[in-house]
Structure 1
């Protein structure tokens, strides 16, 4: 949006002169531009934490730790050897935990 910097600007006195009707019209214009969302559709698509998942069956393939990976003794996550920060007394620490 282009701005004409040469046009006269409103002063504090001019701002107080806006009529009540103009202000109400601006408010209704802004309210009309909001989007109405059907909350029933939204509620059906969300799953709440603690929902009953006893009938659900999960299938997940677990890959064992590879030869070039280690388990951090601080955060217990499996990382690649390139993330190894220190290996003292058999305790392997990743770079994130060492920082």
Structure 2
């Protein structure tokens, strides 16, 4: 909607001419139309809560054990390829850290 900035603005006298009844009626109209009845149980069905019982679920992916050329980072506990082993850390000190965690 275009605004005409050259049009005269309302003065204090013009603001006083608005009746309180009009303002109250306008306020009740907007509040009654904005309230919506939502069943909380229906809204919560799409969400899964942490700690939910997933004992009936099955894995859809094939899980492979760690391979010879992989290591488990002692910081993030992810299995990474040996090429991602941080050069400053070696297996002699017992700390296998990936490049991402070393930065």
**Under a length normalisation based on structure 1, what TM-score does the superposition of the two structures give?**
0.55
- Relative distance call for 1:10 and 1:42 in structure 2 (3 A) is farther
The answer to whether residue 77 in structure 2 is matched with residue 76 in structure 1 is yes
* Residues in 2 aligned to 1:3 and 1:9: alpha-carbon distance in whole angstroms: 12
- Which residue in 2 is equivalent to 1:4? 4
Alignment counterpart, residue 92 of structure 1, candidates 74, 97, 103: 97
* Structure showing the higher strand proportion among its residues: 1
* Residues in 1 aligned to 2:75 and 2:15: alpha-carbon distance in whole angstroms: 63
- Relative distance call for 1:21 and 1:81 in structure 2 (3 A) is farther
Does the CA-based 8 Å contact 1:69-1:78 persist in structure 2?
yes
After superposing on structure 2, the runs of 4+ consecutive aligned residues of structure 1 that deviate more than 4 Å are 46-51, 65-70, 79-82
Task: State the 1:19 CA deviation.
Answer: 2.6
- Relative distance call for 1:44 and 1:92 in structure 2 (3 A) is closer
Length, aligned pairs only: 94
Moved more, 72-81 or 1-10: 72-81
Gapped regions of structure 2 (runs ≥ 5)? none
Q: Please identify the structure whose Cα radius of gyration is greater.
A: 2
Q: Over aligned residue pairs, what C-alpha RMSD do you find?
A: 3.8
Which secondary structure does the structure 1 equivalent of 2:42 belong to? helix
Gapped regions of structure 1 (runs ≥ 5)? none
- Relative distance call for 1:58 and 1:19 in structure 2 (3 A) is same
